[in-house]
Amino acid sequence: MKTYSIFVSYRLVASGDLKTVLSAAKALVDAQSAPGGESENFLIFEHATGRQVDFDLRGSLEDVLARELPSTDAAPTDGAPSDGAPAAKTGKGRPKLGVVSAEVTLLPRHWEWLAAQPTRASGTIRRLVEEARVKEGTDPKRRAEALGNLLWCLGGDLNDFENATRALYALDTGRLFSITDQWPGDLPSFVRNWFSPAPPRNVPVQSLAVHTDPTLDPTLALMEDLFRDAPRQGPGEGAQTARALELAAAAGARLGPDSRIADLGCGTGAQTLELARLTGADIVAVDILPSFLERLEEGARKLGARVRPLQASMGALPFSDGEFDALWAEGSVYNMGFREGLSAWRRFLKKGGILCVSELTWFGESRPAEAEAYWGREYPGIDTAAAKLKIAEECGYVPAGYFPLPSRCWTEGYYRPLEGLIDPFLARHDGSAAARRIAEGLREEMEVYDRFGDFYGYGFYVLIKR
Ligand code: SAH
């Protein structure tokens, strides 16, 4: 498999085969051109050479894939019956496999050797080429060169770049990592993974705007470890999910077993399973953290629910236009930003489809300065319901309902179970400053809620695609 990666600045946004990366790139372009979308540039790199590559991303995702994907991804197998058939490329034989015939000129000893092989000449040559390709792909010198190309394109102004490249070409990974571990964004892990033998996976790793939540960067694994055992990863409650469903139904969007729903930022799936139970719908549950999805899968299995977990970034979703009757995002759109999420996701909905989303909201026009200062720092997107509904309208939705989550969704449903997890978490990561920072941050957030929770909370927005 040929692997590609997309970077936005030093952030790795997607990695995987051509199809995965084209889908992600297309989603980025669409998010940029949506109203209010950010115009961050991204670069796509081919892993084999480390070179930057450009694709024609005009039109729909289907257009892009039709244009840019090779006619086949399958490799022909040895000794197949139509080997070398001259008509292969004109439609006979196995045109779908992309076999192309051409003349080969070899010395007699080469022909003799080929004739002595157990498979036909074409099959043998293809095998030899594939072996050579694999060898090239794993040859450390070539890998180093490719990474050098990629890093050079990304930015030669990285700290100690020259020493890093010197260490790279000398294949001195110890010295290399000691420099690149200090680099920003995803570069430390990207450089380390480059040399690890782990097979490439089709995993869009981070969202377009995951930086709006600073906790979700280098500390991602720690967050995963802390939150995985919590009943939920954000404030919410089954009864509130049900209430949003009722409001949607009242507005004419009743969800049932024939509906398709995407649950974005599903976490371990508290609301996913509630949706499955209440509607019987076919649900795709999306999160970037794999162990959350594992928990969700267990739950879905027990319930016999039709839930497909999908590890993907909500900022680069591999969906088609009009695929869903409903999009659900409880306590997760903040990872992209309310406007960005609403704009980027709209096209995945059928006309008249619903988007149910909970978002941090001021419950009135005035609030204590201390609360304002805290959230201005932690989530500047916080605003009143009126302001959020206006954004929803600007993004092409008609509001069909709004309600604030009751405060027990924060206290009993979310913070209380988390409190019990913090000490064991700190014990597991004894001495880790990053773990301590997470715990302190969370305790501060709880204290702020304790004092000012009357002034803000999650607003639940039920929106219909216009
Ligand atoms: N809906 C769940 C979880 C909310 S917490 C609940 O209410 O309990 C936010 C979730 O978004 C987390 O599970 C986190 O892993 C996920 N997330 C964060 N950034 C993401 C991204 N860029 N793409 C997809 N999921 C993301």
Q: With a cut of 70, list the residues of the chain below it in pLDDT.
A: 1, 36-39, 71-99, 133-138, 156, 196-218
pLDDT at 206: 32
Q: Are residues 315 and 373 in the same domain?
A: yes
pLDDT at 388: 97
Q: Are residues 307 and 179 in the same domain?
A: no
Q: Are residues 200 and 316 in the same domain?
A: no
Angle, alpha carbons 147-204-338 (nearest 5°): 125
Q: Are residues 58 and 162 in the same domain?
A: yes
Structural domain span for residue 104? 86-137
Q: Are residues 355 and 432 in the same domain?
A: yes
Pairing of strands 11-16, 4-8: antiparallel
Angle, alpha carbons 462-271-357 (nearest 5°): 25
Query: Tokens standing for 285?
Result: 């549950």
Atom 22 of ligand 1: nearest residue by CA position: 207
> 19-55 burial, b for 16+ CB within 10 Å, e for fewer?
bbbbbbbbbbbbbbebeebeeeebbbbbbeebeeeeb
Residues with CB under 6 A from ligand 1: 206-207, 210, 216, 232-234, 236, 265-267, 270-271, 286-289, 292, 313-315, 330-332, 335
Any idea what the CATH number is for the domain that residue 288 is in? 3.40.50.150
Question: What is the reported pTM?
Answer: 0.60
Measure the CA dihedral 290/314/362/355, to 10°.
-110
Beta strands in 363-428 (DSSP E): 383-384, 397-404
Contact between residue 17 and residue 3 where contact means Cβ atoms under 8 Å apart: yes
- Among 111, 196, 185, residue whose Cα is nearest residue 147: 196
Q: Which of 287, 292, 442 to mutate to test the pocket of ligand 1 (most atoms within 8 A of CB)?
A: 287
Residues forming beta bridges with residue 283, ordered by sequence position: 261, 307
Q: Which of 233, 283, 333 to mutate to test the pocket of ligand 1 (most atoms within 8 A of CB)?
A: 233
The amino acid at 226 = L
User: Separation of 438 CA from ligand 1 center, angstroms?
Assistant: 16
The amino acid at 395 = C
Ligand 1 nearest-atom number relative to CA 208: 22
Query: Tokens standing for 127?
Result: 């095998």
Quick one: 9 exposed, middle or buried, by C-beta within 10 A (0-12, 13-18, 19+)?
middle
Does residue 76 belong to any structural domain of this protein? no
Q: Residue 380 CA to chain centroid, in angstroms?
A: 23
DSSP state, residue 89: G
Atom 5 of ligand 1: nearest residue by CA position: 233
pLDDT at 137: 65
Angle, alpha carbons 330-415-455 (nearest 5°): 75
Q: Are residues 329 and 427 in the same domain?
A: yes
pLDDT at 194: 84
Q: Are residues 130 and 144 in the same domain?
A: no
Q: Are residues 275 and 145 in the same domain?
A: no
Does residue 368 belong to any structural domain of this protein? yes
Does residue 79 belong to any structural domain of this protein? no
Q: Are residues 163 and 131 in the same domain?
A: no
Phi, psi of 321 (to 5 degrees): -60, 140
pLDDT at 73: 42
Q: Are residues 28 and 120 in the same domain?
A: no
Does residue 317 belong to any structural domain of this protein? yes
CB atoms within 10 A of CB 437: 13
Contact between residue 393 and residue 456 where contact means Cβ atoms under 8 Å apart: no
Does residue 175 belong to any structural domain of this protein? yes
pLDDT at 94: 34
Does residue 211 belong to any structural domain of this protein? no
Size of the chain in residues: 466
CB atoms within 10 A of CB 97: 17
Q: Are residues 148 and 126 in the same domain?
A: no
Contact between residue 52 and residue 43 where contact means Cβ atoms under 8 Å apart: yes
Does residue 216 belong to any structural domain of this protein? no
Contact between residue 93 and residue 122 where contact means Cβ atoms under 8 Å apart: no
Does residue 80 belong to any structural domain of this protein? no
User: Separation of 184 CA from ligand 1 center, angstroms?
Assistant: 23
> 376-395 burial, b for 16+ CB within 10 Å, e for fewer?
eebbebbbbbeebbebbeeb
pLDDT at 203: 37
Q: Are residues 238 and 300 in the same domain?
A: yes
Contact between residue 138 and residue 144 where contact means Cβ atoms under 8 Å apart: no
pLDDT at 82: 37
Q: Say which residues have a Cβ less than 8 Å from residue 191's Cβ, sequence separation at least 6.
A: 147, 151, 176, 177, 180, 183
**Structural domains of the chain, count:** 3
Q: Which residue has the tokens 């390709």?
A: 133
